[in-house]
Amino acid sequence: MAKKAKNPPDTSRQPSNIFVIAPDIDNHTLLEYACVSLASANVMASDFARSLSGSQSVTLLGIQQSIMLGEMAVNRVLDNLDPP
């Protein structure tokens, strides 16, 4: 019987190294940077959503909520690594 499904794409691609994070940066610092970046994206998306109307505003607020949930997850990891 002939195979109908195609093979999955090759996943051995090498990522671009145009932007590289220094290999000696520790996980805590990387998580803190991710948290700050997500917080900034959260505020930018929220501010921009206010200038839109209708479905565009609703879509951007959905994206903003996803950003916020990512920020919360990173914050939880930071709390787990360094409890108050």
Distances (CA, A) of 65 to 36, 39, 41, 51: 16, 11, 11, 17
The DSSP element (H or E) to which 43 belongs, if any, is: helix 27-50
| Segments of the chain with pLDDT less than 70 | 1-5, 8-11
pLDDT tens for residues 44-64? 999 999 999 999 999 999 999
Question: What is this structure's pTM?
Answer: 0.70
Question: What pLDDT, on the 0 to 100 scale, is given for residue 17?
Answer: 83
